[in-house]
Amino acid sequence: QVQLVESGGGLVQAGGSLRLSCAASGSTFSIGAMGWYRQAPGKQRELVAAISSSGTTNYADSVKGRFTISRDNAKNTVYLQMNSLKPEDTAAYYCKAYFRGFDYWGQGTQVTVSS
């Protein structure tokens, strides 16, 4: 079992920055890929960025060049640095981790970008 706890969301003006963190606890040895997803009201949950255990990254086209995903395996933590935020980035952001054949999700953190 893996538990994920996100933090770092909040309200920010357009053009601003936020850094999300997701800390994993429990049986964290050999956690695989981790990622950030978001879901805006009335929309489907979508991938924002993902990072493999070896550090390979993948980004949604809408955030390339603005967001950076990273992970600290020693701390079992994944980060999402979000710069040049836009109102359309407003959503609940969820952390996901792949571990021993299962996906685990955090409870989500709200990001609101005002225009």
pLDDT at 55: 93
Tens-digit pLDDT profile for residues 25-44: 887 677 899 999 999 999 99
Helices (H) and strands (E) in the chain, counts: 0, 11
Q: pLDDT higher for 75 or 68?
A: 68
Q: pLDDT higher for 104 or 1?
A: 104
Cα–Cα distance for residue pair 70/26, rounded to 1 Å = 20
Cα–Cα distance for residue pair 29/51, rounded to 1 Å = 16
pLDDT mean over 16-23:
97
- Rounded to 5 degrees, φ, ψ at 87 are -55, -30
